[in-house]
């Protein structure tokens, strides 16, 4: 009788130990901390963001290739029409920025300065200018 209780107690402790050792790691991005300043250089989509896409992204994200299509003339609509891609409330959570930032899936294809420009553009309202 005591043997069954002991086995049950050991099983319970084992299960509790297994579940208590489970953790989930989260990757926390470190976006630039400074809030937008009225004196900050305005980032133009056509002048600063599209040239990044044209130079570094359209070989894989061109027309008829991987989404989102980042070719000139369709990239803005593709970005704004994809849920989560651009988040002007919390720019650091934007899929576009997260993918381009250090540690993101596309970070090996772009510079930190490219990701920072995208972050600033989103923080400034992600306008099609």
pLDDT at res. 10:
81
Range 92-100, long-range pairs (CB < 8 A, 24+ positions): 92/29, 92/31, 92/119, 94/118, 94/119, 94/122, 96/122, 97/29, 97/31, 97/122, 98/29
Sequence spans of domains, the chain: 40-126
pLDDT at res. 25:
53
pLDDT at res. 54:
96
Model's pTM, two decimal places?
Answer: 0.71
Q: What angle do CA 111, 129, 96 make, to 5 degrees?
A: 40
Give the residue carrying structure tokens 């809030």: 35
What are the structure tokens assigned to 117, written together?
Answer: 């420009």
Note down pLDDT in tens along the chain; length 129 residues.
Answer: 677 777 887 888 776 666 666 555 555 555 554 566 777 789 999 999 999 999 999 999 999 999 999 999 999 999 999 999 999 999 999 999 999 999 999 999 999 999 999 999 999 999 999
CB 51, CB 110: distance < 8 Å: no
pLDDT at res. 43:
94
pLDDT at res. 52:
97
pLDDT at res. 53:
97
Q: What is the DSSP letter of 79?
A: H
CB 74, CB 84: distance < 8 Å: no
Q: What CA–CA distance (Å, rounded) separates 74 from 54?
A: 12
pLDDT at res. 28:
56
């Amino acid at each position: 009788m005591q043997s069954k209780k002991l086995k049950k107690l050991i099983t319970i402790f084992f299960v509790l130990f297994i579940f208590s050792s489970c953790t989930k790691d989260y990757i926390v991005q470190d976006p630039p901390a400074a809030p937008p300043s009225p004196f900050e250089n305005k980032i133009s989509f056509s002048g600063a963001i599209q040239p990044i896409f044209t130079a570094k992204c359209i070989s894989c994200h061109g027309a008829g290739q991987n989404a989102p299509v980042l070719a000139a003339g369709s990239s803005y609509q593709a970005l704004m029409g994809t849920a989560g891609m651009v988040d002007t409330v919390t720019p650091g959570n934007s899929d576009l920025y997260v993918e381009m930032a250090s540690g993101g899936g596309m970070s090996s294809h772009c510079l930190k300065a490219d990701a920072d420009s995208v972050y600033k553009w989103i923080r400034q309202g992600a306008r099609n200018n």
